[in-house]
Chain A
Amino acid sequence: MTVATNPAYITETLIAEDIDAYLVKHQHKTMLRFITCGSVDDGKSTLIGRLLYDSKMIFEDQLATLENDSKMHGTQGQGIDFALLVDGLAAEREQGITIDVAYRFFATDKRKFIVADTPGHEQYTRNMVTGASTADLAVILIDARQGVLTQTRRHSYLVNLLGIKNIVLAVNKMDLVGYSAERFYEIVSEYSHFAKQIGMKSFLPIPISGLAGDNIVTRSENTAWYQGPTLLGHLEDAPITVARMQDAPFRMAVQWVNRPNLDFRGFAGLIGSGSIAPGDAIRILPSGKTTTVKSIVTYGGNLDRAVAGQSVTLTFNDEVDCSRGDVITTADAPCEVADQFEATLVWMGEAEMLPGRPYLLKMGTQTLTATVTEPKYEVNVNTLEHLTSDTLKLNAIGVVNISTDRAIPFDSYANNPDLGGFILIDRATNATIAAGMVHFALRRSQNIHWQALDVDRTAHAAIKNQQPKVVWFTGLSGSGKSTIANIVEKKLHAMGKHTFLLDGDNVRHGLNRDLGFTDADRVENIRRVGEVARLMTDAGLIVLTAFISPFQAERRLVRDMMDAGEFMEVYVDTPLEVAESRDVKGLYKKARAGNLKNFTGIDSPYEAPEAPELTVNTTALTAEEAAELVIAAILAS
């Protein structure tokens, strides 16, 4: 290539000679986001460094630092180590490993690029899924000497799972296999076989060398047998997801209601798919109310039309209810509404998944409470085998059913990632613990309707002349829960109250005899007790429960099941030493000897209530006195 036809040279000349023409040209660039994935030594960082270097995103001072760093930490002898350009945090630089998602930027005359650089380590599936979630395209790197590795399969499975349609197989380090066409096609054929297995529709293989620069920006003379595009050429031409989404039906999740004064009510959001114009008929979900768009308001003036990818504010022709979390859809092709789904989960939390535990689910702009079932199966992403499992651990992927506390609008992830992708959040730590992709709504959620009852809960309670209630005793084993609850029930019974006491003895031997004492089983135990207690309050009873119930999350779950004011949490506060010294059933002794696993207070945690309705301190009160306090509280409420 002569200097005069070199694209970089032409750009520089244009900048120097006619900056206005350059600026006009560059206002019309599009933007592509892509992810690079590969194993530890596939040369990922080198490739990204090369793209930045070749597109002139590296300045002289950075180059000087780079040359210094290359001598100090580099792996290329006296040569420039491009990888050092992109390895960021100090600790990582010392280890020589990228351990997080980093975003890099470069631009050509046609496009701006955002690269998600993610690590190749197996334990960092979390980071790869994060990087892939916003990518239009994935570059999967293979070391030409190594061929398709377990890691390659894993990365390919993940980018396919995240719905990336445009996949480049970059067969790297071609210089180290003598630019052999035979080797290249051998790898392509092997990969093709695997791609078919995971349902990947197509991919584009390119022979490259990140270090030597072959087929990155310009076609290499070393691979005369290769007729396809260069890597950068393909990146400049590949389709962009948000442009494709413009052809889908209109969807916009409402972020914020704009009410600067009584005359203006606008609904602000980022259009997820489709397009919208004033006069278009729309439907608001989950309510199902319909109206038409009055105007598309922006700072720069009202628009005649807006498309997927734009942040706008809509006003309506009718006063209909609409708030944050709602989804505005086109009236004739609305999305579905349901409260139970099948979904794939990628577990990202340090603590394993607990089926039945209430988590927060964020999808679109709504956040609500959701529970997950045991996995239908877990996927071994290396072998694609379906495994049975009763939980998901960090970086595990599995298919579960999800149930939400109210019906929400959604699309399947495959059709619309904006309304089918969600995260799960731990209520206690606020950590993001899972990424999920909705497959479909479960039939039963659409077909089970509540049977309207003639004799309702009010009637049940009225005939007993009492307020139904759940009095929930929680505390360590041996704290005195059952003792106090028994006295309370006797006294209430004597007063003519209709009561029932649920405790470990009458539940664990029957209803819950299939459950053990793992965290997951404890969660399910409490969920079932909660459901039974709720049915009993429907029957008008005052229900007393005596369970250790060590986790705040489950006690809150039960609280949320009941009507306001019907749940009364009683914390039986007894220090561990006291409970252990009582050791009525000899359990502490067994646990200390290591003969009883998962014993609360010993090798399993107890989370004390933060705001119980009542606390009884059994070191200061007798059981009788404590019972009197509880009864007074029940009768007072």
Chain B
Amino acid sequence: MPVSSADPVAISASTLTHLQRLEAESIHIMREVVANAENPVMLYSVGKDSACMLHLAKKAFYPAPPPFPLLHVDTTWKFKEMYKLRQKAADDAGMKLIVHQNPDALAQGINPFDHGSMHTDMWKTEGLKQALTKYNFDVAFGGARRDEEKSRAKERIFSFRSANHRWDPKQQRPELWKLYNTRKAKGESIRAFPLSNWTELDIWQYIHLENIEIVPLYFAAPRPVVEWNGMLIMVDDERFPLAPGQVPEMKSVRFRTLGCYPLSGAVESKATTLPEVIQEMLLTTTSERQGRAIDHDQAASMEKKKQEGYF
């Protein structure tokens, strides 16, 4: 029997690039959701992945606006610049923006300084569950990627959650070809991840190519920072509990991931353009999630969070 040899394929004009194919796949997933869901919503965190996902949604349904609202599960502790972009992004896309803040967390004044992991649990995990239940959303788009963390590598594109929003890695459905089984029982909901197969580099390249607007915090600028919990934290407002006599230092920094400002570590950088940011990212030697305080403790901590309903 003949044994084939490697046969190089000439790249013809019609050979699609990896970004074109990822884009086509994400659009396909979004359209499948809209064709099958009763009341879908897109989770929007104002970060770069959200920006990318929102841009893809505009493409998927053009010339119509995306036929679902954006939902921001707010903690009141995001960067000021994030709040500034939030409404503008929704308006530009012609979409309704829903902001949900967990009323219990608000009443108890839950904050990242005094409450540790409870901050994430109550504002984000509980807040998300409350919002999905309150508005009766049956499918929520999320910007999670499989390359972010080991337990996410096995996450399906359509991920089913029980009525109390729990994730059971043993009960996920096989996904074959492009055939997504979107049927669900009463009370169940779906998280759909159209960016599953994108990597961090893909996201940055796409933002660059498509000229997608992102929060300026991703670019280096002189910002007031202090060292806190081993990270460089930007003092974004007067709520930051500076020690007596402590004065923030102005440093040229940027952020690789954005969340609550007291939990987002800055990196010292001179990168003021997208190509420079990508350059730094490619030459750097620490992975993306390290800038986030929530999952430093154990390798499997993200998985535990997910089973409890954190996105």
- B positions within 8 Å CB-CB of A: 1-9, 11-12, 14-25, 27-28, 31-32, 34-35, 58-65, 146-147, 150-151, 153-154, 169, 172-179, 181, 183-185, 196-197, 199, 201-202, 205, 208-209, 275-276, 278-279, 282-287, 290, 299-300, 303-304
Contact = CB atoms under 8 A, between A and B. Distances in A.
Contacts of B201: 107
Contact of B7 (A239, A266, A310): A239
B6 A258 contact: no
B188 to A, nearest CB: 8
Interface string A370-407: 00000000000000000000000000000000000000
Contact of A298 (B2, B62, B173): B62
Contact of B153 (A28, A90, A103, A305): A103
Nearest to A196: B1
Interface residues of A, number: 100
A311 B153 contact: no
Contacts of B299: 65, 69
Contact of A270 (B2, B14, B28, B199): B28
Given A204-B5, A229-B6, A237-B6, A430 B151 contact: no
Interface string A176-198: 00000000000010001001100
A313 B153 CA distance: 31
B31 A268 contact: yes
Interface string A10-28: 0010011001101100111
A268 B59 CA distance: 11
A22 B283 CA distance: 13
A562 interface: no
A15 B282 contact: yes
A19 B276 contact: yes
B174 A127 contact: yes
A111 B20 CA distance: 13
A196 B304 CA distance: 47
B150 to A, nearest CB: 4
A87 to B, nearest CB: 8
Contact of A88 (B9, B12, B18, B151): B151
Contacts, number: 231
7 contacts: A105-B146, A105-B147, A243-B9, A260-B65, A363-B179, A365-B35, A425-B181
Query: Chain A contact residues: over half helix, strand or loop, or mixed?
Result: mixed
Given A69-B299, A228-B6, 5 more contacts: A15-B279, A27-B17, A103-B153, A298-B59, A311-B25
A310 B154 contact: no
Contact of B9 (A61, A89, A237, A417): A237
Contacts of A432: 173-174, 176, 181
Contacts of B3: 188, 192, 202-205
B5 A431 contact: no
Nearest to B63: A260
B282 A114 contact: no
A418 interface: yes
Contacts of A30: 11, 15-18
A299 B58 contact: yes
A242 B25 CA distance: 12
B62 A297 contact: yes
Interface stretch (A128-136, A549-557, A627-635): A128-136
A422 interface: yes
A90 B300 contact: yes
B18 A100 contact: no
Contacts of A299: 58-59, 62
Given A107-B201, A240-B9, A297-B63, A256 B34 contact: yes
B181 A89 contact: no
B153 A255 contact: no
Interface in A249-275: 255-256, 258-260, 264, 266, 268-270, 275
B255 to A, nearest CB: 17
Given A90-B303, A422-B179, A26 B31 contact: no
A71 interface: no
A539 to B, nearest CB: 37
B24 A126 contact: no
B63 A103 contact: no
A424 B224 CA distance: 58
Nearest to A11: B282
Contacts of B283: 12, 15-16
Contacts of B6: 204, 228-229, 233-234, 237-238
Contact of A324 (B4, B35, B61, B179): B35
A421 interface: yes
Contacts of A102: 153-154
A305 B16 CA distance: 13
List 8 tightest A-B contacts by C-beta distance, closest first: A260-B64, A31-B18, A311-B27, A202-B4, A59-B287, A60-B285, A19-B279, A299-B59
Contact of A202 (B1, B172, B202, B285): B1
Contact of A62 (B31, B284, B287): B287
